[in-house]
């Protein structure tokens, strides 16, 4: 990492040579200004008003504009010879608990790197002293043409410095809070606490810039001649009419979301019963009001159930009829047989009687 400032930390009579490097970097997507008609770049040129010509960076210096509009030139040599001890020194003025620092004052962050082997021992001494005391160091230093306030703290095995705003640079929150007395009930506070507990904590390393990723996708799509992805339509948030109901719904939704994250494989099994409940609740009015459809369905069902009985009865009827016919035919045959036997017996008796009589006469 390239250093942006070289100096020393003044720790009482101890001097620690250090280099100041940026601790943060920006990953934001940068754009250029273009002429929308032909796509030409729009550039800003530095022009001298008196000579009406463009000047190079080497010809540009600093000046202070007075109240009457006149310019008072200030050189880098003038600034380097300022009669302050923090021109090239980070002067530690106090050690305080970290919670004494208002986060509103915190600005840019830097790493303080030990400059050379002689700085290793005092650098480590200051770092371990800050660790053991659980305090931070308040320091004053000069950077980019002005004296600044800083906070030194331990980050891992390094010492970091946060630029702080001066106390008079932080505005008071006047006119920001709601006007008038607002009463919050204990039940609402309990639900708010439950919502906070349900949401729980999060690892900040898991968070990322979704806006930057979306911009990069749009740029990649347009560079490939494709259509950029469309934004997802999100339901507009409804008006909060009942704070208690909103808190209860938020707690319920947060718990369901957390349960779904913890048991990812069973997520579908948890959703299906909810869909069935919704379907039954929607059909319930139709069932209570639709008596005609219910009675019709019942009649159809009864008719279907009755059909096998009718066919069975018909089969039984046909079976009994055929049995009767068969019995009648058998009875008729028997009667015919009996009558034939009687007639045969009569004719035989007659013949026998005639023969007997003729025998008697001949004798």
Average pLDDT over residues 101-118: 92
Of residues 69 and 277, more confidently modeled:
69
What is residue 274's predicted lDDT score, i.e. its pLDDT? 43
Alpha helices in the chain, H assignment, sequence order: 76-80, 120-133, 186-199, 210-223, 243-262, 267-289, 291-362
Output 6 or 200, whichever has higher pLDDT.
Answer: 6
Least confident range from 2-6, 56-60, 201-205, 230-234: namely 230-234
Kindly state the percentage of the chain with pLDDT values over 70.
68
Distance CA 48, CA 305 (A): 104
Phi, psi of 183 (to 5 degrees): -100, 130
Residue 306 pLDDT > 50, yes or no? no
Lowest mean pLDDT among 31-40, 179-188, 348-357: 348-357
Place of tokens 């891992």: 156
Instruction: Decide the pairing of beta strands 3-11 and 89-97.
Output: parallel
Q: Give this prediction's pTM.
A: 0.57
What pLDDT does 42 receive?
94
Structure tokens at 285: 């009015």
Using CA atoms, how far apart are residues 112 and 9, in angstroms rounded to an integer? 9
């Amino acid at each position: 990492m390239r250093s942006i400032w070289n100096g020393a930390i003044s720790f009482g009579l101890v001097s620690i040579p250090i280099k100041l490097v940026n601790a943060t970097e920006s990953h934001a997507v940068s754009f250029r200004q273009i002429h929308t008609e032909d796509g030409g770049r729009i550039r800003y040129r530095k022009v001298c008003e008196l000579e009406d010509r463009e000047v190079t960076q080497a010809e540009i210096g600093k000046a202070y504009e007075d109240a009457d509009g006149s310019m008072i030139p200030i050189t880098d040599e003038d600034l380097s010879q300022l009669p302050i001890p923090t021109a090239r020194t980070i002067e530690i003025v106090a050690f305080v608990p970290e919670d004494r620092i208002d986060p509103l004052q915190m600005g840019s962050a830097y790493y303080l790197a030990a400059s050379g082997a002689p700085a290793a021992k005092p650098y480590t001494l200051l770092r371990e002293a800050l660790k053991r005391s659980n305090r931070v160091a308040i320091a004053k230093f000069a950077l980019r043409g002005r004296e600044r306030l800083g906070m030194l703290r331990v980050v891992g095995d390094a010492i970091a410095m946060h630029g702080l705003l001066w106390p008079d640079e932080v505005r008071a929150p006047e006119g920001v809070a709601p006007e008038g007395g607002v009463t919050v009930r204990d039940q609402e506070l309990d639900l708010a606490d439950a919502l906070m507990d349900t949401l729980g904590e999060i690892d900040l390393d898991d968070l990322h810039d979704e806006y930057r990723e979306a911009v990069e996708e749009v740029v990649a799509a347009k560079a490939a001649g494709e259509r950029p992805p469309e934004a997802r339509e999100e339901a507009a948030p409804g008006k909060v009419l009942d704070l208690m109901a909103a808190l209860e719904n938020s707690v319920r939704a947060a718990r369901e979301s957390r349960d779904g994250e913890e048991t990812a494989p069973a997520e579908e099994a948890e959703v299906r019963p909810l869909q069935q409940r919704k379907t039954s609740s929607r059909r319930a009015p139709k069932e209570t009001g639709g008596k005609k459809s219910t009675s019709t369905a019942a009649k159809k069902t009864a008719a279907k159930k009755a059909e096998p009985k009718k066919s069975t009865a018909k089969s039984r009827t046909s079976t009994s009829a055929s049995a009767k016919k068969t019995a009648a035919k058998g009875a008729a045959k028997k009667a015919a047989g009996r009558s034939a036997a009687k007639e045969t017996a009569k004719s035989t008796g007659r013949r026998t009687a005639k023969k007997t009589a003729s025998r008697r006469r001949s004798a």
